Amino acid sequence: MQSKLIYRYSGALYDASAESKKVKKVAADCSGLIDLIKKNGELQLLFRSPIIDKLKKEKILTKLFKGQVNDLTLNLLLLLVRNGREVHTLEVLEGYLDILDEKEGVIKPVFTSAVELPEKEKTKIKKELDKISGKDSKPVYEVDSSLIGGFTIRMKDSVIDGSVKRQLELMKESLRTKSI
């Protein structure tokens, strides 16, 4: 249900922004709000707290964001509050950006390595992913020390596993199946 709920709100916001030709403005609002909410504990509390009255939340959001974000974006925030769905605000805003990326043909592969990569390496990886996929990519970089070395790449339903951990698993399986 959650993904349907998130898609319903983020999809409606996308449709409204496309209709009014404000897709990029709303996308900028969503990105800014995501960063702001993640960095501001009081704002997180506002969206999570069931104790704060809906009308008070609406007044606070209107005071904070009227004139700062597009009316479509503000109306979404107020609608989420009115419908008791404000706890999902971050997911809905991220969902909007995901829909926009999908419409623009942008992919989001997850590149996992055993260690944190320097920016220069991330840039090279992005260029290679763009070349391989034939699309623009926005890679998400993760660190998983259990990989020992190497990397994995997840793109939608596909996984490329070039990790040392996987190679060791394959060797182990190979040794088990061969008779000595």
d(CA 23, CA 74): 14
3-state secondary structure (DSSP) of residue 120: helix
Give me the DSSP letters along 66-105. BTTB-HHHHHHHHHHHHTT-GGGHHHHHHHHHHHHHHHTT
d(CA 65, CA 71): 9
Structural domain spans, the chain: 2-103, 110-177
- The pLDDT assigned to 121 comes to 93
CA atoms within 13 A on the CB side of 178: 7
Q: Tell which residue, 164, 129, 135, 127, has the closest CA to residue 147.
A: 164
Amino acid identity of residue 96, one-letter, is: Y
Q: What is the pLDDT of residues 129-154, one digit of tens each?
A: 899 888 899 999 999 988 888 889 99
Q: Which CATH number fits domain 2-103: 1.10.520.20, 1.10.760.10, 3.30.479.30, 3.40.47.10?
A: 1.10.520.20
Q: φ and ψ at 5, to 5 degrees? A: -60, -45
Q: Mark residue 105 as left, alpha or beta (left: phi above 0; alpha: psi -120 to 50; beta: remaining).
A: left
The pLDDT profile of the chain, 180 residues, written as one tens digit per residue, is: 358 999 999 999 999 999 999 999 999 999 999 999 999 999 999 999 999 999 999 999 999 999 999 999 999 999 999 999 999 999 999 999 999 998 998 888 999 998 999 999 999 999 988 998 888 999 999 999 888 888 899 987 788 888 888 888 888 888 888 755
Write down the pTM of the prediction: 0.74
Beginning with the edge strand found earlier in the chain, give each strand of the sheet holding 151-155 in spatial order. Answer: 140-143, 110-113, 151-155, 158-161
- The pLDDT assigned to 1 comes to 38
- The pLDDT assigned to 175 comes to 82
- The pLDDT assigned to 57 comes to 96
Which tokens hold the place of 16?
A: 């409204």
Which tokens hold the place of 18?
A: 């496309």
